[in-house]
Amino acid sequence: MNERHTAPSLQLEQGRGARRSRFRRPYRIEIDPAGGQGPWWVPVVSIVLALAVCGIFIAWNGMNPLTVYAKMVKGAFGTSFGFTETLVKAIPLMLCGLGVSIAYRISVWNIGAEGQFIAGAMAATAVTVYYPELPMVLSIPFMLLASLAAGGLWGLLTAIPRTYFGVNELITSLMLNYVALLALNYVVFGPWKDPKGFNFPGTPMFTEAQSLPVLGATRLHMGLVFALAGVLLYWLVIRYTRWGYELRLIGANAEAARNAGIPISRHILAVMLVSGALAGLAGMSEVAGVTHRLMYGISPGYGYTAVIVAWLAKLNPAGLVISSVLFGGLIVGGYSVQTIGLPSSVSSMLQGAILFFFIAGAMAGKFRLRRSR
């Protein structure tokens, strides 16, 4: 009885298995954890898709997208004034992006470049407030050192909890941005407020001895030298030094680096110190080279835009220069489209779209199509 009922059921299961094997898919999708940020063409495609999608919204508002983009390009790169202004905007983006890139080398997600930028700007301004009579030969180096120290300390405030208590650096670095912003508001509305500023929330104007030298009649200042020197030093350190090799090894495989005896905790502290110092230097360059005073809203979001700059450059030194100039041009081009009736927030929309498509491309780059056997 049992044998008579069992045989047909076995034949039925074998038949189902044969049908399943006959229709089995010849390919399967796998996820490669080491896929990185995707192929080299991902940034290019991200920019093209961002322009296309944002063009739809521009057309929706009754404007020709090609006309708007042409106006932005002409405003940012079409004249000598526009190009120098683009470089002025690229300086803080390059320095902050450089700091973010160093941290990302070992997978430390520093989102606090905005706060480190503000800390550096405040420290540089403190030199002018408490030592106003210093000559340029002393004031500029002191402002430089103060901004590096303040930005580096602000970076360590993120690294120490991460290293010793396992606190996620995304949370601490982001929250410290708001702490720095509140500290900025306190000093410009309070003890450092200019008594002759007609109630404007800002410090007294810097003297000529407290300002960075500029190129001719433009606003292009010595901060560009700081930024380019930092990029060159970054390339040399990452490529030719032992410390740079250890950073690359930690970023590629932290477990292998730990087994090789590399002190990862010490590298996290050092990297965040350097990362914050570079963002602090960007703050000093802005107050001493552009605004010539510390004021409310000193940063239009340079620290946050620097994250996009670093990702779009794929942490490459030459890519940092190119992406910084590109996003500097977006900011300046955003101002120029106001003359044709569009808000400057068009540039912010483009920045967000580029980041969105770049992250999507990086995630897609981790998928691999394999032939099933």
Residues 106-124 have pLDDT tens digits of 989 999 999 999 999 999 9
pLDDT the model gives residue 279: 97
Residue 83 located in a structural domain: yes
Residue 27 located in a structural domain: no
Q: CATH number of the domain at 129, please.
A: 1.10.3470
Q: Is the pLDDT of residue 32 over 60?
A: no
Mean pLDDT of 353-370: 76
DSSP secondary structure string, 296-335?
TT--SSHHHHHHHHHHHTTT-HHHHHHHHHHHHHHHHHHH
Residue 220 located in a structural domain: yes
Task: Give the C-alpha separation, 316 to 176, whole Å.
Answer: 27
- The number of domains in the chain is 1
Q: Is the pLDDT of residue 2 over 70?
A: no
Q: At residue 107, what are phi and psi to the nearest 5 degrees? A: 60, 35
Residue 372 located in a structural domain: no
What is the domain extent for residue 161? 47-363
pLDDT digits (tens, 9 = 90+) for 307-339: 999 988 988 999 999 999 999 999 999 999 988
Task: Give the C-alpha separation, 232 to 102, whole Å.
Answer: 13
User: What is the model's pTM?
Assistant: 0.87
User: Among residues 61, 83, 94, 357, which one has the least CA distance to residue 232?
Assistant: 94
Task: Give the C-alpha separation, 355 to 309, whole Å.
Answer: 9
Residue 282 located in a structural domain: yes
Q: Is the pLDDT of residue 69 over 70?
A: yes
Average pLDDT, the chain: 88
Q: At residue 368, what are phi and psi to the nearest 5 degrees? A: -125, 140
